[in-house]
A and B are shown apart, each in its own frame.
Chain A
Amino acid sequence: MAGASITVAETPLVRYLLRRADDALILGHRLSEWCGKAPMMEEEMALANMGLDLIGQARSLYTYAGEVEAAGRDEDAYAYLRDVRGYGNLLLVEQPNGDFAATMVRQLFYSAFIDPYWRALMGSSDATLAAIAAKAEKESAYHVRHSAEWVIRLGDGTPESHRRAQEALDGLWAFTGEMFETDAGERSLIAEGIVPDPEALRAVWLESVAKVVAQAGLTLPQNAWMQKGGRSGEHSEHLGHLLSDLQYMQRAFPGATW
């Protein structure tokens, strides 16, 4: 039964790698859902390109998780054969695309965090992680720039685009706190100098986002209450639907190839 679900023996490093890979894969999948529906040809290309970058980053992280777990699993096993509760991505990235404003605000929230995060991870004592980060950091820099430009254009655009951009900010804000969350396992990796402390990037993230929001003429939400659960597998109902789409082929036809 190659299509049956797998359970991963999670050491702190494997769990860490899967969480970061899941963030990239799920957001990449969300962006791919825009294919054929983007508001204009240029955005069709941009969204697909950013999605491709993210899926590429996920592949590197899953492949490394396979080496560390040493249970003979490849990138596809982690992506296609884990159930929804086994996924450790942020709730933010699994949120539905909504309208174009929601997609761009979600992208800005994530990119403004992950871009300095990759830069910090380049200093990892783990050479493979440092190499993956060095590659990803060049890509995330373009994603921050692109999503920031759109949020500014939408906020500073028509009353309708302004209203929608503000709704997206308000609606997604409560999902941003999770980016800075760590558990005991991750804190042990931080203490060993293998990964950076995301909490140390909170100020940088907030400054980048606040700058864009101000330039867009939008209002930064102030509510402090934050959603959480994604890192421990407690997801919104949206992820299960996404995975049924993502995993269907390998579950129905185990080991199918092109």
Chain B
Amino acid sequence: MSAALHDSEALRGEVWRVAGAVTDPEIPVLSIADLGVLRDVAIVDGRVEVAITPTYSGCPAMNMIALEIELALEKAGIGPVTVKTVLSPAWTTEWMTEDGRRKLREYGIAPPAKGGGRRALFGEDQVACPQCGSTSTAELAPFGSTSCKSLWQCKTCREPFDYFKCH
């Protein structure tokens, strides 16, 4: 009994490690663990259940991420697997790990302002350029290359960049 429980805990950890390493197809430097998209792993009657949550309602990456999780687990010899989508609690950029924020910046995307949310939505945004660090930046377009990003430009180094919107 306790051996079985131990096995199941070990399996859970292994699933979390393998599934969590799956990357966002739109932002390949971020894993779904970094993003906070991977919500739960459960072993139910020998079946592995992985719960993920969408960043945006219409995020087209969700189907892709679910497929990638199944493939990654199959490759690791783990199965059978069910990937389900959960909506509550609603995903927020606050769940993004520090490591995730650093990786985003290094990739050239300004990470979401901490503690932003609605205040940042209507107040004065101040976003630091991921290239040169200058805070003299301006929004070019509120909707960018994907649902989760807006398009900005740095007034100091003149580079355009994506900003991961507060959510």
* Interchain CB contact under 8 A, B147 and A49: yes
Is A130 interfacial (CB-CB < 8 Å)?
Answer: yes
Interface string of B124-167 (1 = CB under 8 A from A): 00000000000000001111110100010000000000000101
A42-B151, A53-B56 known; A138-B167 Cβ under 8 A: yes
Does residue A14 face the partner (Cβ distance < 8 Å to B)?
A: no
Indicate whether A56 reaches chain B with its CB closer than 8 angstroms: yes
Cβ–Cβ < 8 Å partners of B27 in chain A: none
Contact flag A60-B143 (CB < 8 Å), given A128-B87, A134-B88: no
Contact B59 A56 (CB under 8 A): yes
Closest to B90 in A: A134
Report B111 CB to chain A, min CB distance, Å: 17
Residues in B with CB closer than 8 Å to A52 are: 56, 58, 60, 147
Which A residues, 82 to 97, have Cβ-Cβ distances below 8 Å to chain B? none
Give CA–CA (A45, B149) in the complex, Å: 11
CB distance from A188 to the nearest CB of B (A): 24
Q: Check A59–B57 contact: CB distance below 8 A.
A: yes
Specify which chain A residues have a CB less than 8 angstroms from the CB of B141 in the assembled complex. 42, 45-46
Query: A135 contacts B143, CB within 8 Å?
Result: no
Interface positions of A (Cβ within 8 A of B): 28, 42, 45-46, 48-50, 52-57, 59-60, 127-128, 130-132, 134-136, 138-139, 141-142, 145-146
Q: Which residues of B pack against A, CB within 8 Å? A: 54, 56-60, 87-91, 118, 121-122, 140-145, 147, 151, 165, 167
